[in-house]
Structure 1
Amino acid sequence: MTSLPPQSSPQPSPGPSPKSSPRSSPPSSLSRIRIGSAPDSWGVWFPDDPLQVPWRRFLDEVSESGYEWIELGPYGYLPTDPDVLREETARRGLGVSAGTVFTGLHRGPEVWESTWAHVSEIAALARAVGAGHLVVIPAFWRDDKTGAVLEDSVLTPAQWRHLATQTERLAHEVRERYGLRVVVHPHADTHIDSEENVTRFLDATDSSLVSLCLDTGHYAYCGGDSVKLIETYGERIGYLHLKQVDPRVLAGVRAEELPFGPAVARGVMCEPPSGVPALEPVLAAAQDLGVELFAIVEQDMYPCPPDKPLPIARRTRAFLRSCGA
């Protein structure tokens, strides 16, 4: 995710400083941006799947690529024992920036108990390994593999109210119980996707509780302008996912009304700097916010050959260094 006021609420510690790592580079023009990667960039979408690389290989390769931060990915892919996970990440010079959860909070208070059971388990692990954030992704309105419509793509006014109030409740509980900052991730095929829906969500929620994880690829996929969003709602940008879209593939996806899963398999998310949006102005706008931000590379590639991610990760890290990050 223009010089704007500092964030309005205290920031949880993001974990051990990358400056303590022997692989840290000298201060750059993007000194406030902490670059990392995620299991998603290795084709990992599920806790266990024969098409995915084993978790040890992921940790080895993300470290070899020059990254110092990771996300947990789908709960259960990486070890859920905090002691094991701390040992495995620490010996590779890696810190954990965030955990990720999927929620359907627009469905109202009746889903709270099941949502909290899921969220609390992941939040506890994230906090135990030094993360400071919890990325919250809204539920898909259509199946990301089959395209089957699961519910209406447009929320009713009552569902918008549920989404806002239940997200605020979740953010409050996660902050109070685990010390984590909730960052909501606008995502393709969810109800928080386009500029219209993202701004409606932001305007409906408390800025002291709810921030955004701005995913540059998903926002471009849904027609949004990341730089404009940062410049307009800078105080709400709490976290970034760096991703690019291939505009030619996207045009076909839109023409055929493909769901997100088949769009990814077709290559709609591409290796930077070959797609949109350009990441240099996004990173510059984020730097100008005057706060420290994680910027986690996520190139959706499920499924992909096991030898494909590492060379891409190395090239992407080199590209981001050339941008000053």
Structure 2
Amino acid sequence: MSVRIGINPLSWTNDDLPTLGAETPLEVCLSEGKQAGFSGFELGNKFPRQPEVLGPILDSHQLDLVSGWFSGELLTRSVEEEIEAIEDHLHLLKTLGAKVMVYCEVTGCIHGQQGTPLSHRPRISEAEIAALGEKLTRVAEYTLSQGVQIAYHHHMGTVIESEAEVDLLMKYTSPAVGLLLDTGHLTFAGGDPIAVQKRHADRIVHVHCKDLREAVLKDAKNRDLSFLDAMLNGVFTVPGDGFIDYLSIFNGLKASNYQGWLVVEAEQDPAVAHPLTYATLGANNLKKFCAESGLNLVD
């Protein structure tokens, strides 16, 4: 059983607020990510989406494709329409060797709207989560048949945000639907990532490692900020630089024989938080947590 460490390019260029790092070329993201100590990258807005183009670029940096975000719309699309929409993304991931797809239902989401407080995020009933789960299972069975497993990303500002909503989605989906454990999003939402890791250990197929600055988080909640304003204020940071108990989480991953990627996904303003500095800190901290927990880290 082994794990690898990867990073999301959000540290350099932001997908939800593209003006952040807009001038930073992909070459800088990849070269600095490799320099920081990572083995792979998730996709971002600077990445070509043709495998014959992206593959050689990653190879030139000795990096692997970890995964990539897909904006699901199963609340408004049929299973057949969703599968059709997902085909190009699935082809890219499958061709370049990624084993999981970061998937999030984005119908009505508000995390990309800077003027919308997080309290205004969409909510659906248990019956609606059950219906979503039934459709998501069918889509996941299809992607799994192609060699790529859906890793559902619970996310601030979306219909699956809270710990209770994660529990319901797991209840109403089959094991074909994997869970992406995002420590930062779950903590931001008031949940307990340690408890979720233990409860859904057999479903976790991907892990996003972001930490939170406690004082900034309290301020964001007190003032009911938008997701983007909270991010710009510095609520997120790399693992080990905030207040989340990563060692306990990694101990749980070790106990459950987790194997897969541990991905630093810590969006900050690159003009404030120097990307290479924080990427290096994140990589070093992940290596330390792996060593302390006994997780077998490989390149």
Indicate whether 1:284 and 2:251 are aligned. yes
Q: Deviation of residue 142 (structure 1)? A: 2.5
For the residue of structure 1 that corresponds to 2:261, the secondary structure is: strand
Q: Provide the residue aligned with 2:279 in structure 1.
A: 313
For the residue of structure 1 that corresponds to 2:75, the secondary structure is: helix
Q: Deviation of residue 141 (structure 1)? A: 3.2
Q: Provide the residue aligned with 2:138 in structure 1.
A: 169
Unaligned 5+ runs, structure 1: 1-30
Q: Provide the residue aligned with 1:201 in structure 2.
A: 169
Separation in 1 of the partners of 2:118 and 2:181?
25
Q: Give the aligned residue type for 1:311.
A: T
TM-score normalised to structure 1 length: 0.81
Q: Provide the residue aligned with 2:9 in structure 1.
A: 39
Q: Provide the identity percentage.
A: 24
Q: Provide the residue aligned with 1:81 in structure 2.
A: 50
Q: Deviation of residue 183 (structure 1)? A: 0.6
CA gap of 1:157–1:311, structure 2 versus 1, over 3 A, is closer
For the residue of structure 1 that corresponds to 2:174, the secondary structure is: coil
For the residue of structure 2 that corresponds to 1:105, the secondary structure is: coil
Separation in 1 of the partners of 2:170 and 2:20?
38
Match 1:98 to one of 43, 54, 67: 67
Q: Deviation of residue 293 (structure 1)? A: 2.0
Separation in 2 of the partners of 1:137 and 1:146?
21
Q: Provide the residue aligned with 1:235 in structure 2.
A: 202
Match 1:304 to one of 246, 270, 277: 270
For the residue of structure 1 that corresponds to 2:242, the secondary structure is: coil
8 A Cα contact 1:188 1:218, kept in partner: yes
Separation in 2 of the partners of 1:287 and 1:81?
35
List per-residue Cα deviations over 1:104-145 (Å, max 9, x = no partner).
323353x852x3343211111111111111010221533532
TM-score normalised to structure 2 length: 0.88
Indicate whether 1:187 and 2:155 are aligned. yes
Separation in 2 of the partners of 1:157 and 1:36?
34
Separation in 1 of the partners of 2:286 and 2:76?
39
CA RMSD in angstroms, aligned pairs only: 2.4
8 A Cα contact 2:118 2:226, kept in partner: no
Give matches, 1:254-273, under 5 Å.
254-273=221-240
Match 2:35 to one of 38, 45, 64: 64
For the residue of structure 2 that corresponds to 1:147, the secondary structure is: coil
Unaligned 5+ runs, structure 2: 292-296
8 A Cα contact 2:121 2:159, kept in partner: no
Q: Deviation of residue 294 (structure 1)? A: 1.0
Q: Give the aligned residue type for 1:102.
A: S
Separation in 1 of the partners of 2:172 and 2:279?
37
Separation in 1 of the partners of 2:121 and 2:61?
45
Give matches, 1:209-228, under 5 Å.
209-228=176-195
Whose relative contact order is higher, 1 or 2, with alpha carbons under 8 Å and at least 6 apart?
Answer: 1
8 A Cα contact 1:105 1:162, kept in partner: no
